[in-house]
Amino acid sequence: MKRTIIEVILALALVGAGAFGWTNFKGNQKATGQLTELKAASEEATKAVAEKEAAIKAAEEEMATLREEMAPLEGQAQQLAAVKAAMANGATLADLEAAYKSQKNLSAERQVGLGALRMLTKGAEDPAAIESFRKALQMSELGDRKNTICAAQIALSAAGEKVAVMADCIPKSAKGDKGDKAEKGGHGDKAAAKDGHSKDDGHDHAKDDGHGKSDDKKAPEKHAVHWSYEGDMGPERWGKEFPTCAKGKSQSPLDIRGPFVKSRVVVTTDYKEGPLKMINNGHTIQVNVVPGSKIRIDGVAHELLQFHFHRPSEEKIDGKPMAMVVHFVHKSAEGKLAVLGVLLKEGNENPGIKTLWANMPMEEGPEVAPEGVNFNPANLLPREFDFYSYEGSLTTPPCTEGVRFFILKSTVNVAKEQVAAFPFKRNARPVQELNGREITTN
């Protein structure tokens, strides 16, 4: 009995202890829960504070960087103000205008220089300045002179004109994200201000206004953007500086092969004789054509601006290139580009090319205009006018798209010696992806 009582008491005690322990445990658990919550809340608060601090620090760093970037800009603004003040009386502009008066067709580089001087003398909105830049742009956008294109685009944009400034024209800042912003252009001041940013660019622009390329050779390291047909700056790398070259979906040249779609487009040429003007621009021999020669595409006139040569032909027919090709570059009043390609096949001497080669500058340099020499671009055309046609691009940087190509099926002859005398051994961009484009034929 006694034992039973003790056992009961013990059992009760045990249960009691258990109950006590349980209650205690629950209480502790609740407290721990609260503590955890408190801890989490405090951690969150600390984190938020840290984040805010980091943001403030980043903002401060940004401000410091901006201040650093602003300092040289202020200096440049002062220099610009000094130059403007020096030009304000207009004497230099009058001198230059007088000097250029006898030259009917100024080079793009000189147009840019003239425009810049007009802008400095008369202000950004001066219509004559704008006209100079527009002319420069029109002349240079078909070629390869990026510095001139950029100078003209940035100047027009700064003058409030509606001009898209190529992304390629905006110098890459250390942050590397500014290039895209200006792609759409139209925001001239910003583009111009950014341009002022880079000393190299300013330097190049200055050079472009009239000094020509010979100067560039003395300081090749300043020539920030250049391209070539081989090596580090070869066609595979063009896209780095000129995004369209890599990202474009209708690039030229093409390997022309069937199936073809029937074309009903009618193309006629009306080329006229004019004074011969040639330039060796370091990438090709180009003949600049005075106004008056044109082709008509379904009746729509496209003015012939220039023609130039590639060796071997950039276009291939069924995988095969020809010895050379002539590209006749035209532009309609609406600004639509059209290239007529004439393939040169090795054979007899070509009398037209004989005249051109006799006058061509063998070294890169400014345009030459041999006295008393006239040329009719029609001398380089075959008699038959059947063609292949497709939508393509400039075959040199910036590889601008929206260029209509007509490659004539009939070839013209060029002598082996004439091909060998061409100063560029290889200046042909490789063929590009068709990307579902139609090639038509008439």
Residues that bind Zn ion (CB under 5 A): 327, 395
Going by DSSP bridges, is the β-strand pair 255-256/316-317 parallel, antiparallel, or unpaired?
Answer: parallel
The residues, ordered by sequence, that sit 6+ positions from 371 with a Cβ below 8 Å of its Cβ are none
Residue 182 to residue 438: CA distance in whole angstroms? 33
Nearer to Zn ion, 116 or 399 (CB): 399
Minimum CB–partner distance for residue 395 and Zn ion (Å): 5
The residues, ordered by sequence, that sit 6+ positions from 215 with a Cβ below 8 Å of its Cβ are 207
Residue 274 to residue 258: CA distance in whole angstroms? 38
Cis omega (within 30 of 0) for bond into 253 = yes
Task: Give, to the nearest 10 degrees, the angle between helix 91-100 and helix 108-122.
Answer: 150
Nearer to Zn ion, 182 or 279 (CB): 279
Catalytic residue (one of 197, 205, 283, 327): 283
Question: Residue 416 in contact with residue 346, Cβ under 8 Å?
Answer: yes
Nearer to Zn ion, 294 or 327 (CB): 327
Residue 193 to residue 190: CA distance in whole angstroms? 5
Minimum CB–partner distance for residue 381 and Zn ion (Å): 16
Minimum CB–partner distance for residue 148 and Zn ion (Å): 18
Radius of gyration of the chain (CA): 35
> Is 283 annotated in the active site?
yes
Minimum CB–partner distance for residue 424 and Zn ion (Å): 12
Nearer to Zn ion, 144 or 209 (CB): 144
- DSSP character at residue 410: S
List phi, psi (to 5°) of 374: -110, 160
| Amino acid identity, position 203 | H
Minimum CB–partner distance for residue 72 and Zn ion (Å): 40
Strand partners of residue 374: 275
Quote the tokens at residue 145: 């002179």
Minimum CB–partner distance for residue 307 and Zn ion (Å): 9
Nearer to Zn ion, 146 or 327 (CB): 327
Nearer to Zn ion, 143 or 243 (CB): 143
- DSSP character at residue 368: B
Q: What is the largest CA-CA distance in the chain?
A: 144
Residue nearest to Zn ion (CB): 327
Task: Give, to the nearest 10 degrees, the angle between helix 188-197 and helix 146-158.
Answer: 130
Going by DSSP bridges, is the β-strand pair 324-332/300-310 parallel, antiparallel, or unpaired?
Answer: antiparallel
Nearer to Zn ion, 133 or 388 (CB): 388
Minimum CB–partner distance for residue 310 and Zn ion (Å): 5
Looking at the annotation, which residues are catalytic?
283
